[in-house]
Amino acid sequence: MALIKTVRGFTPQFGKDCFFAENATLIGDLITGDQCSFWFQSIVRGDVNSIRLGNKVNVQDGAVIHCTYEKAATEIGNNVSIGHRAIVHGCTIHDNVLIGMGAMVMDHAVVESNCLVAAGAVVLERAHLESGWIYAGVPAKPVKKMSAEQFKGSVKRIANAYTMYSSWYK
């Protein structure tokens, strides 16, 4: 079973039908929706501020979600994929977003719905990413509008796939 730890009087709370890899770490002021999945070596650390996740959020292998003490909570919407070894820190991510492998999203950044943040991209502190775009680079910049086909083939497909993958482990 995953390491689920109470810190400063806060115990993580989970929605229905969530998956927890044996070595995932979930700490403190964390509240999730339904059908979330926390994969191998992922860390969601709500020890210094709150972390809120919507429904069908997948936190892939080695990803870290954290926040900044008394300054920046983390809020993540529905149908969001946090890629392998990504870092999501003290920011807001709206619905239907893919944060690519190894990407970073920093404090007070806002990623609007229906975005894709490419692998390795760095979303700087206080950046605001507009809906419907693919962002890439360091710092992350809009590289092209996301077509309906790209949205369906990446953002939507991956969120749904991780719900299916987690069923294999339950």
What CATH number is given to the structural domain containing 50? 2.160.10.10
Give the structural domain span for 98: 3-169
Whether the Cβ atoms of residue 110 and residue 92 lie closer than 8 Å to each other: yes
Given this model, what pLDDT does residue 1 score?
Answer: 85
Domains identified in the chain, total number: 1
Q: pLDDT, tens digit, for every residue of 102-156?
A: 999 999 999 999 999 999 999 999 999 999 999 999 999 999 999 999 999 999 9
